[in-house]
Structure 1
Amino acid sequence: MTSAEQPPPPAARKKTGRRPGGADTRRTVLEAARAEFAARGYEKASMRAIGRAAGVDAALLHHYFGTKDRLFLAALEVPIDPRVVVGQVLAGDRATVGERVAAFVLGLWEQPEVRERMLALLRTAATNEQVAQLMRGFMVSELVGPAAAELGIPQAELRLELMMSQIVGLAMARYVIGVEPLASAAPADLAPLLARTVQGYLAG
């Protein structure tokens, strides 16, 4: 065999197979997830399709993120896990659920880093229908649906969405528009007032 006919050395051969794990792989997966969620919506997007687009096995996605909802949270940089929220605020006496919701919401929004990310997401959803559609699908599937089932009250989905509108309105007025005296009010002063409204929505 002449030198021209000899096969290339192993180092020169092109590598094949799935992409290994690592920081670059995680970034690629998140980019593929954003594209897949945008193209198909939260409900129809699948871990398998995201894995194919990223060039990795679906098992690697489960290793990194666990479930589709957690992958969505990471892809859109949502700083809260709705299922954790449901578990925290709906556990315990329903006569004080409004207090727990108010304490959780104000505690969350008063964290500057979390607030910045939440406001960025709200602003994007308000001006980008694609992001708004994704958030609608996700919130209905992962927050409103489970919470409504847990509450077991008439018009549970409507009540929960009214509660969410109250929270979003509070965030916009207090942190974006800066309406006074709301903008400078202490969380301790706001909590009981917000709690009463939320209690009215969720008490049934």
Structure 2
Amino acid sequence: MTADADDQPAPRKKTGRRPGSADTRRTVLEAARAEFAARGYQKASMRAIARAAGVDAALLHHYFGSKDRLFLAALEFPVDPQLVVERILTGDPDAVGERVAGFVLALWEEPTVRDRLLALLRTAAASEEVAALMRGFMVTELVSRVADGLGVPQPELRVELVMSQILGLAMARYVIRVEPLASAPAEELLPLLARAVQTHLTAG
């Protein structure tokens, strides 16, 4: 004789870490934003973010691979610094200025990318917390990596000068809209920016 269905024990609810899902991914990103904001990029850890999100650390690596990828996703950062590092360090050193300038102008001339970059710039300018977060990320993932591969005196300073050149161009061209810079075609700006970048990175 079999027991009635009503007599069967109710299924036990699973406990423990969350399984992977779209909701879990959103929870992880929210936890990452909070952890990065509280501790800064350099001190934040994947383990602490996983703990705050209620997931296994292995799940973060499954979704994002590494801390820098998680940071890019959490802040919706539209540029992968690794691509910039590769553009600078791969190829003929005498053509680095042209490579970097072409890459930068192509990014900024893309409206969706430009809008996101400008939003981040404005936020960083208005918030020291965001500025510090961005600074830690860029120093770790861009400045230090490029500087290690340049083989020139004062490499960190040179990379930061290039960054200042690019940020200054962005502010003047796309935010303040200084003329004739704001209306100049990108192909007209390319050789001028390329020479400045080349000088910063390779001049003796």
- What's the TM-score bracket when you normalise by the shorter of the two chains? over 0.9
Q: Which residue of 2 aligns with 1:9?
A: 10
Could you tell me how far apart the structure 1 residues matched to 2:187 and 2:135 are? 31
- Which letter does structure 2 place at the counterpart of 1:48? R
Could you tell me how far apart the structure 2 residues matched to 1:68 and 1:121 are? 19
Aligned length: 197
Paired residues for 1:40-79 under 5 Å? 40-79=39-78
- Which letter does structure 1 place at the counterpart of 2:78? P
- Which letter does structure 2 place at the counterpart of 1:176? V
SS at match of 1:145: helix
Instruction: Spell out, residue by residue over 1:85-130, the C-alpha distance to the aligned partner (whole angstroms, 9 max, x if none).
Output: 1112321111111111110000010000100110101110111111
How far off its partner does 1:8 sit? 6.3
Could you tell me how far apart the structure 2 residues matched to 1:14 and 1:125 are? 44
SS at match of 2:152: coil
How far off its partner does 1:161 sit? 0.4
Q: TM-score, normalised by structure 1?
A: 0.93
- Which letter does structure 2 place at the counterpart of 1:163? V
Q: Which residue of 2 aligns with 1:191?
A: 190
- Which letter does structure 2 place at the counterpart of 1:147? V
- Which letter does structure 2 place at the counterpart of 1:18? R
- Which letter does structure 1 place at the counterpart of 2:10? P
Task: Determine whether 1:30 maps to 2:29.
Answer: yes
- Which letter does structure 2 place at the counterpart of 1:102? A
Task: Determine whether 1:162 maps to 2:161.
Answer: yes
SS at match of 2:179: coil
How far off its partner does 1:17 sit? 1.3
* RMSD of aligned Cα (Å): 1.3
| Runs of at least 5 residues in structure 2 that lack an aligned partner in the other structure | 1-6
Of residues 84-93 and 52-61 in structure 1, the stretch that sits farther from structure 2 once superposed is 84-93
Could you tell me how far apart the structure 2 residues matched to 1:176 and 1:34 are? 26
How far off its partner does 1:7 sit? 9.7
Q: TM-score, normalised by structure 2?
A: 0.93
How far off its partner does 1:195 sit? 0.7
Paired residues for 1:95-106 under 5 Å? 95-106=94-105
SS at match of 1:199: helix
Task: Determine whether 1:152 maps to 2:151.
Answer: yes
Instruction: Spell out, residue by residue over 1:133-158, the C-alpha distance to the aligned partner (whole angstroms, 9 max, x if none).
Output: 11111111000000001101101101
Task: Determine whether 1:180 maps to 2:179.
Answer: yes
Could you tell me how far apart the structure 2 residues matched to 1:9 and 1:105 are? 60
SS at match of 1:73: helix
Instruction: Spell out, residue by residue over 1:139-198, the C-alpha distance to the aligned partner (whole angstroms, 9 max, x if none).
Output: 110000000011011011011101100100100111111111111110000000001111
How far off its partner does 1:14 sit? 4.1
Could you tell me how far apart the structure 1 residues matched to 2:35 and 2:9 are? 39
SS at match of 2:51: helix
Q: Percent identity?
A: 75
Task: Determine whether 1:113 maps to 2:112.
Answer: yes
